[in-house]
Amino acid sequence: MNPLIELNDVLYRYPLTRKSALRHIQFKVTSGMVMGIIGVNGSGKTTLCNVIRSFIPNFYQGDLQGTVTLKGKPLNQYSETELSQLVGYIFQNPFTQISGVKDTVAEEIGYGLENLGVSSKKIQKRVAKMIDLLNLSDIKDKNPFDLSGGQKQMVAIAAILAINPEIFIFDEPTSQLDPAGTTKIFKIIQQLKSQGKTVILVEHKLDLMMQYIDQLLVLDEQGQQIAWGKPEEILASFTENQTIALPTATRVYQRMAAQHLIPIATNKVPVTQDEIVQTIQNFQETR
Amino acid sequence: MTMVELKNVSFSYDGQKQIVHDINLAFTAGTATAIIGQNGAGKTTTVKMMNHLLVPTQGQILVNGEDIHDRTTAQVAHHVGYAFQNPDDQIFNNSIQKEIEFGPKRDNLPQDQLQKRVQVAAKMTGLSEHLDEHPYNFPYSLRKFITIASILAMNPETYIFDEPTAGQDHLSRQRLSKIITQLVAQQKCVIVITHDMNFVAENFNRVIVLSEHQVLADDTPQAIFSQPKLMTRANIEPPEALSIARRVHMATRPLTVTTLVDALKSK
């Protein structure tokens, strides 16, 4: 079976710049996988999302090298319409995702479907379902520009969910949200996963992210891929520094090892709360 | 010394629904306070009244002991600086230098003093190398530092940062911590709205919980995070270290990775 998404030695330079924003990006994502991308601000996470959705090179010029294929077919052989149905992209900044041409939240949620030529009856049904799913009924008649940052983020997500694509790119979907809203988004990601959707997730909230991802891509501050694999395995070779942040579970584990409370593992470390709780319980029993 | 005081303050946009209801708070020099609570709790509305971007419908706001009701926002901004939640609501100049110097320039500061202010603000926010660049060439998360720098350059007594941690990586969070520590050491009054409870646990001694338009609690992070009922009511998650400690039935309540591991060690 072809991998759903495949990047092969991808390098990209923005126009009028000398430094590459991305270099040596190489990974394969299979259908149904949840993939996380981490790296400091400016390491190319959003740029990489733009490549996968082909906003680079379709809307941004510059120098793109290497190959990107979806379902075995190079990205440049897809039409923009095909891509918008195949890949749903929730922008980092909800303030820029809202179309600005619709007067109500409900219309905004249906705007993508409208552009794809879906019948208005179907749109209404689909929009009603999204409003229900994300508890947006209180704001459905409001102007999207009158919403708070967190509410805008929810509306942007609803608009993409309405299109029901195969691949979802979430670029820091919870940056404007409170803990309740954040939990809601991660529940949606969990649901998408159980429906067999493929998810690419950029997120700084590592403690939460680690509970949901299968594979992790790490970018350094130069936009270079420095690790790709199962998070519990690749994070075993890192300590927190200028390049990489670690989840709380891994930090606790490393501190415990540094203080000789537990032996240092080199091939696998706890990355989630459940895993570090297990480690501490084992440690408590040996006391 | 009390820098900002809210006395029985209420606010409503439409004269009916109260967004802030009867709030009493005082903020002193040389302290850092976190304001937490759900989206829609009234956090941004509360702080916007402190620098006169919004005027209370009831009650009184004192800045440095004086009622600001009849002052202009520009006058209050000399004493209380507010960095917006959405940096794009604040940034309007075409270079970072111009953006940072906009406020102090209007005070007719001598050129050397003005440049000194810009340099100090740029250094604290990590922007020294980028002063000639266009703010919109920067990612959202770094544009937040531009808004913070322009407040620093005004050199007010009170600083309000509205969700500065949103979308920030660990390096930027460390930079924010350092800015807060430096301001507190200079006897400034710092007020920060945030949803990041790990950041709250590591950087603040006082936490105000807003819930349903009122002050639900005003205490130390230790006291706030030890009250599960309060946390549920305000829809707040504890810091990750405390969640871990609870699950392994530790006797103490560590809020950070360091205190958690120390407690495990000394057991």
- Mean pLDDT score of chain A: 91
- Whether the per-residue pLDDT at A123 is higher than 80: the answer is yes
Q: Is B127 helix (H, G, I), strand (E, B) or coil?
A: coil
Q: Quick one: which of A263, A239, A130, A206 has its CA closest to B169? A: A206
Q: What is the pLDDT of residues B217-240, one digit of tens each?
A: 999 999 999 999 999 999 888 999
Q: What is the pLDDT of residues B44-83, one digit of tens each?
A: 999 999 999 999 999 999 999 999 999 999 999 999 999 9
Q: Are residues A182 and A263 in the same domain?
A: no
The last residue of one of the domains, among A193, A208, A229, is A229
Q: Are residues A188 and A263 in the same domain?
A: no
Q: Are residues A16 and A98 in the same domain?
A: yes
pLDDT of residue B246: 95
Q: Are residues A112 and A24 in the same domain?
A: yes
This prediction has a pTM of: 0.89
> What number of CA atoms fall less than 13 Å from residue A250's CA on the CB side?
24
Q: What is the pLDDT of residues B166-194, one digit of tens each?
A: 889 999 999 999 999 999 999 999 999 99
Q: Are residues A164 and A61 in the same domain?
A: yes
Nearest CB to A41: which of B141, B198, B244? B141
AA identity, residue B27: F
Q: What is the pLDDT of residues A205-245, one digit of tens each?
A: 999 999 999 999 999 999 999 999 999 999 999 987 777 89
Q: Are residues A273 and A209 in the same domain?
A: no
Nearest CB to A277: which of B166, B247, B258? B247
- Whether the per-residue pLDDT at A187 is higher than 80: the answer is yes
Question: Which residues are CB-neighbours of B102 under 8 A, at least 6 positions away?
Answer: B93, B150
Nearest CB to B264: which of A175, A177, A261? A261
Residue ranges making up the domain that contains A274: 232-286
Contact A248 B171 (CB under 8 A): no
A243 interaction partners in chain B (CB closer than 8 Å): none
Q: Are residues A164 and A89 in the same domain?
A: yes
Q: Are residues A271 and A218 in the same domain?
A: no
Nearest CB to B195: which of A178, A256, A261? A178
Query: What are the tokens at A232?
Result: 């519990």
Contact B267 A287 (CB under 8 A): yes
Measure the CA–CA gap between B205 and B202, rounded to whole angstroms: 9
B237: contact with A, CB 8 A cutoff: yes
Residues 137-176 of B with CB under 8 A from A: 139-142, 163, 166-172
The last residue of one of the domains, among A229, A251, A276, is A229
Percent pLDDT > 70 in chain B is: 100
Contact A259 B39 (CB under 8 A): no
Q: Are residues A140 and A246 in the same domain?
A: no
| Residue, of B16 and A51, whose pLDDT is higher | A51
Which of A148, A204, A218, A241 is the best mutation test for B, with the most CBs of B within 10 A?
A: A204
Q: Are residues A249 and A206 in the same domain?
A: no
Q: What is the pLDDT of residues B99-111, one digit of tens each?
A: 999 888 888 889 9
**Strand (E) or helix (H) holding A61:** none
How large is the average pLDDT for residues A12-29? 93
The last residue of one of the domains, among A208, A229, A250, is A229
A172 interaction partners in chain B (CB closer than 8 Å): 167
Q: Which CATH number does the domain housing residue A38 bear?
A: 3.40.50.300
AA identity, residue B39: N
pLDDT of residue B106: 82
Looking at the complex, report in whole angstroms how far the Cα of residue A258 sits from the nearest Cα belonging to chain B: 10
Count up the domains in chain A and report the number.
2
Alpha helices in chain B (DSSP H): 43-50, 73-77, 96-105, 111-125, 140-154, 170-185, 197-203, 221-225, 228-234, 240-247, 257-266
Q: Are residues A121 and A17 in the same domain?
A: yes
Whether B142 contacts A42, CB under 8 Å: yes
B198 interaction partners in chain A (CB closer than 8 Å): 248
Q: Is B116 helix (H, G, I), strand (E, B) or coil?
A: helix
Q: Cα angle vertex B166, ends A161, B11, to 5°?
A: 95
B197: contact with A, CB 8 A cutoff: yes
Q: Search chain B and give the residue with CA nearest A147.
A: B40
Nearest CB to B243: which of A181, A273, A281? A273
pLDDT of residue B85: 82
Contact A42 B235 (CB under 8 A): no
Looking at the complex, report in whole angstroms how far the Cα of residue B109 sits from the nearest Cα belonging to chain A: 34
Q: Are residues A69 and A100 in the same domain?
A: yes
